[in-house]
């Protein structure tokens, strides 16, 4: 047995066994959100998702919350890590995601009157 194989076998024996998690997506509901609010308590985080149809304008119409996810802090931290990795991978391929809307908006072209 090659030295590399012995090292790999030793590492595998010392590593905790990972179980395959089965997932049933038959009843999953898919929705779109462009608004997110995070609140919580000492025990859990509450993440509300909704659709802001008013865009950058602040209107009198309230944003309707369509989905609410309640997470304990351990699950929230795992979600944070997974989202961080996903965004890093996206930015490696497509470039930086600018979250400041004002920096993304291009001024209108000046007319040459």
Domain boundaries, the chain: 31-104
Largest CA distance in the chain: 81
Phi and psi dihedrals of 62, rounded to 5? -70, 150
What's the confidence (pLDDT) of residue 81?
97
What's the confidence (pLDDT) of residue 102?
83
What's the confidence (pLDDT) of residue 110?
62
Residue 64: beta bridge partners? 51
What's the confidence (pLDDT) of residue 91?
97
What's the confidence (pLDDT) of residue 104?
81
Phi and psi dihedrals of 89, rounded to 5? -65, -40
Element housing 72 (H / E): strand 64-72
pLDDT in tens, the chain (113 residues): 555 555 455 555 666 677 888 999 999 989 999 999 999 999 999 999 999 888 766 667 888 899 999 999 999 999 999 999 999 999 999 999 998 888 888 777 765 55
For the chain, the first-to-last Cα distance in angstroms comes to 81
Q: Which residue has the tokens 């991978």?
A: 89
Tokens of 25: 């997506």
What's the confidence (pLDDT) of residue 4?
53
Q: How far apart are CA 75 and CA 44, in angstroms?
A: 9
What's the confidence (pLDDT) of residue 61?
84
Tokens of 101: 């809307």
What's the confidence (pLDDT) of residue 106?
76
pTM greater than 0.85 (yes/no)? no
């Amino acid at each position: 047995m090659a030295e590399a194989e012995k090292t790999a076998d030793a590492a595998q024996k010392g590593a905790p066994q990972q179980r395959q998690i089965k997932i049933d997506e038959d009843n999953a509901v898919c929705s779109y959100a462009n608004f997110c609010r995070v609140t919580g308590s000492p025990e859990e985080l509450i993440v509300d998702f909704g659709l802001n149809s008013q865009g950058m304008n602040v209107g009198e119409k309230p944003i309707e919350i369509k989905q609410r996810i309640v997470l304990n802090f351990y699950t929230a931290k795992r979600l944070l890590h997974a989202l961080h990795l996903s965004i890093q991978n996206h930015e490696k391929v497509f470039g930086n995601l600018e979250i400041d809307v004002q920096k993304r908006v291009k001024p209108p072209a000046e007319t040459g009157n």
